[in-house]
């Protein structure tokens, strides 16, 4: 591409470039449209297009909603005489190649889907001065708006399960086409009043259905595939783009930026988060800030649904919490399986899902990344405790004028200075390195082996007087108590060392994803 910057034409103010690059030409065309007086008013402080503004064959009637990528309008198709939802990207999206590529991907992927519960795409213009996506217009609130106007504690569990089950069936269809949504949330589920499905009233004058309508009176529609991608698609996204979305409904693997591990089971997690909020009124990992949500998502488990609403059957809680498991391997195998399970619950049939056993729950708890730092801090604390215990014991013996001989006293002091302290400091240093995930694997096994050896040695000293130092051979009670306590402390360190094996956690996550 020519290095000379584009210059405005002296005659008409349009931008010109000496380059023949087609992509640059498209960009300049969009800049012309945005800067011209006849261009879309979206540019000025994100102001909305006025009624009657024309984009191609579509005449704008009113704005429906807006998001980070674009504004959705109710528009009339002049040629076919029908109403559509017209999504137009924001100005900064039009001149950003990565965001414009995502807008193009939304149109391409959504156009592949033909399902009664997925809002269909009629047409897309992606190369003109003002790109747009024309979809079917659904006159109704989205689920987020409906939840804001209704008390979640009054929502029928059956109605919530039925609605999420229907969306799960639509998501299953998308997965069968190789498409992962990646942004399932209440705002992307439109509620269409059942009586309006066959024939739409005047959408220009109509407003959203009144909030006192029950959930059973609506039929859901899934929309907004702006973050969707093909499962086989090569992943070349930046961390910032991966974190675009709603953290309250993101799966742990998506929130942590593991793009290669985001798949159908990530959508299942999001469906579980939507169901949880419908049943309790709050998101499962709600916090005051974005980092707070991510921390809770990584470390916490959702509060029991039945504790918040005792009238909800444990079967529905089991289904919901299975969707929200940290490990993808512990969730449902497919959205279709989730839809079938919710159908069984709604029909009053026994569900197939079972709660994780206590042992499995404990094992899953040990696999949280935060366990590494916590376990290594415990290892360091135990080493510090043993050092204090050793020298504190010698000092107490000296002050109590015990029957220790000078030889025995020197033997104990020398062993603590030359053996105990260096070993404890070495263990603490290794724990610090392991917490930073910089300890070589050989060193990790060396520390684990040493801890196991010390456990055996301390128990041997507690049980065999002949192996103990001279003073302890004469005081069996002190010997058994001291070395048994040391063995227990070493055993505790060994357990913490195993919990802090970050490579074990990483391997488990890789297998489950």
CA dist 337 → 264, 279, 297 (Å):
12, 20, 24
Q: How far apart are CA 350 and CA 183, in angstroms?
A: 31
pLDDT of residue 419: 73
How many Å apart are CA 458 and CA 463, to the nearest integer?
9
Check residue 11 and give its pLDDT.
42
- Identify whether residues 77 and 118 lie together within a single domain: yes
Helices (DSSP H) in 140-263: which residue ranges? 143-149, 157-176, 239-242, 252-255
Same domain, yes or no, for 236 and 107? Answer: no
62 falls within a domain: yes
Do 351 and 392 belong to one domain?
A: no
Helices (H), 136-260: 143-149, 157-176, 239-242, 252-255
What CATH number should be reported for the domain holding residue 82? 3.30.200.20
Instruction: Please tell me the total count of domains within the chain.
Output: 3
| Domain end (from 328, 355, 382) | 355
Q: Give a yes or no: residue 340 inside a domain.
A: yes
Distance CA 234, CA 259 (A): 10
Judge whether 21 lies within some domain. no
Residue 379 located in a structural domain = yes
What CA–CA distance (Å, rounded) separates 69 from 85?
A: 15
Residue at a domain's end among 94, 110, 136: 136
Do 117 and 258 belong to one domain?
A: no
Buried b / exposed e over 355-364, threshold 16 CB at 10 Å, is eeeeeeeeeb
Whether 183 is a known active-site residue: answer yes
Q: Are 165 and 343 in contact (CB under 8 A)?
A: yes
The counts of H helices and E strands in the chain are: 20, 12
Are residues 455 and 471 located together in one domain of the fold?
yes
Q: How far is residue 483 CA from its own chain's centroid?
A: 46
Using CB atoms within 10 Å of the CB of residue 56, give its burial: 0 to 12 exposed, 13 to 18 middle, 19+ buried. middle
- What are φ and ψ of residue 74, in 5° steps? -85, 125
Q: What's the Cα-to-Cα distance from 428 to each of 174, 238, 435, 442, rounded to whole Å? A: 51, 37, 11, 16
Q: Check the CA dihedral 210-215-218-222 and report its sign.
A: positive
pLDDT at 71: 86
Do 131 and 156 fall into the same domain?
A: no
Which tokens sit at 440? 């070589």
pTM listed for this prediction? 0.66
Please, what are the averages of pLDDT over each run of 10 residues along the chain (513 residues)?
A: 45 44 53 43 48 86 79 90 89 74 80 90 81 88 89 87 95 92 90 64 53 78 77 44 67 78 90 95 86 82 89 92 88 94 92 69 62 83 84 64 63 68 87 84 89 88 71 69 85 86 60 45
Confidence (pLDDT) at 83 = 92
| Residue 460 belongs to a domain | yes
The last residue of one of the domains, among 324, 355, 386, is 355
> Tokens 């070993």 belong to which residue?
423
Predicted confidence at residue 375, as pLDDT, reads 83
Alpha carbons 508 and 513: distance in angstroms, whole number: 9
- Same domain (yes/no): 344, 379: no
Determine the Cα–Cα distance for residues 262 and 328; give it in Å rounded to an integer.
Answer: 9
Query: For the domain that residue 257 is a member of, what is the CATH number?
Result: 1.10.510.10
Residues 205 and 348 in one domain: yes
Residue 345, number of CB atoms within 10 A of its CB: 22
Spatial distance between the Cα atoms of 299 and 321, rounded to a whole number of angstroms:
15
Domain that holds residue 171: 143-355
The C-alpha atoms of residue 233 and residue 253 are separated, in whole angstroms, by 17
- Do 289 and 260 sit in the same domain of this protein? yes
Tell me how far CA of residue 401 lies from CA of 355, 397, 404, 406, 415, in angstroms.
60, 6, 8, 12, 20
d(CA 438, CA 431): 10
Question: Taking a C-beta distance cutoff of 8 angstroms, is the pair 211, 167 a contact?
Answer: no
Domain for residue 165, yes or no? Answer: yes
Choose among 109, 248, 234, 121: nearest CA to 173. 109
Q: Which of 167, 157, 164 is nearest to 315 (CA)?
A: 157
In a domain, 176, yes or no: yes
Q: Which one of 183, 267, 315, 501 is the catalytic residue?
A: 183
What is the predicted pLDDT for the residue at 508?
Answer: 54
Asked if 228 and 349 sit in the same domain, the reply is yes
Residues paired with residue 132 on neighbouring β-strands, in sequence order: 125
Same structural domain for residues 413 and 339?
no
* Claim to verify: residue 333 and residue 197 sit in the same structural domain: yes
In a domain, residue 1? The reply is no
């Amino acid at each position: 591409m020519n290095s000379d910057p584009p210059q405005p034409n002296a005659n008409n103010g349009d931008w010109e470039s000496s380059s023949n690059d087609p992509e640059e030409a498209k960009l300049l065309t969009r800049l012309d449209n945005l800067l011209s007086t006849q261009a879309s008013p979206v540019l000025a402080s994100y102001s909305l297009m006025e009624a009657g503004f024309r984009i191609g064959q579509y005449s704008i009637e009113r704005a429906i909603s807006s998001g980070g990528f674009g504004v959705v309008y109710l528009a009339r198709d002049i040629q076919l005489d029908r109403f559509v939802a017209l999504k137009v990207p924001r100005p900064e999206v039009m001149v950003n190649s990565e965001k414009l590529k995502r807008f193009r991907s939304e149109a391409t992927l959504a156009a592949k889907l033909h399902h009664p519960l997925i809002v269909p795409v009629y047409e897309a213009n992606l190369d003109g001065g003002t790109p747009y996506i024309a979809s079917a217009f659904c006159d109704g609130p989205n689920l987020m708006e409906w939840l804001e106007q209704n008390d979640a504690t009054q929502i029928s569990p059956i109605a919530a399960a039925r609605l999420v089950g229907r969306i799960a069936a639509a998501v299953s269809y998308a997965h069968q086409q190789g498409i992962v949504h990646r942004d399932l949330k209440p705002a992307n589920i439109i509620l269409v009043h059942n009586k309006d499905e066959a024939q739409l009233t005047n959408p220009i004058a109509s407003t959203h259905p009144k909030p006192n309508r029950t959930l059973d009176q609506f039929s859901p529609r899934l929309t907004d595939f702006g973050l969707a991608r093909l499962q086989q698609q090569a992943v070349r996204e930046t961390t910032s783009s991966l974190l675009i979305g709603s953290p309250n409904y993101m799966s742990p693997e998506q929130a942590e930026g593991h793009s290669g591990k985001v798949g159908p089971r990530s959508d299942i997690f999001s469906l579980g988060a939507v169901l949880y909020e419908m049943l309790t009124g709050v998101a499962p990992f709600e916090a005051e800030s974005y980092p707070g949500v991510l921390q809770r998502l990584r470390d916490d488990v959702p509060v029991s649904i039945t504790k918040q609403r005792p009238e909800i059957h444990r079967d529905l809680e089991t289904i919901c919490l299975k969707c929200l498991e940290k490990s993808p391997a512990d969730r449902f195998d497919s959205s279709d399986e989730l839809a079938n399970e919710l159908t069984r619950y709604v029909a009053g049939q026994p569900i197939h899902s079972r709660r994780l056993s206590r042992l499995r729950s404990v094992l899953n708890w040990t696999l949280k990344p935060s366990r590494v730092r916590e376990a290594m801090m415990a290892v360091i604390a135990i080493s510090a405790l043993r050092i204090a215990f050793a020298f504190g014991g010698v000092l107490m013996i000296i002050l109590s004028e015990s029957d220790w001989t000078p030889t025995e006293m020197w033997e104990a002091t020398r062993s603590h200075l030359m053996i105990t302290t260096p070993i404890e400091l070495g263990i603490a240093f290794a724990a610090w390195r392991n917490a930073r995930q910089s300890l070589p694997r050989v060193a990790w096994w060396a520390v684990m082996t040493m801890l196991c050896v010390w456990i055996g040695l301390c128990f041997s000293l507690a049980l065999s007087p002949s192996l103990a130092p001279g003073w302890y051979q004469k005081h069996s009670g002190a010997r058994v108590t001291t070395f048994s306590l040391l063995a227990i402390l070493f055993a505790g360190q060994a357990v913490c060392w195993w919990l802090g094996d970050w490579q074990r956690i990483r391997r488990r996550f890789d297998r489950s994803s």
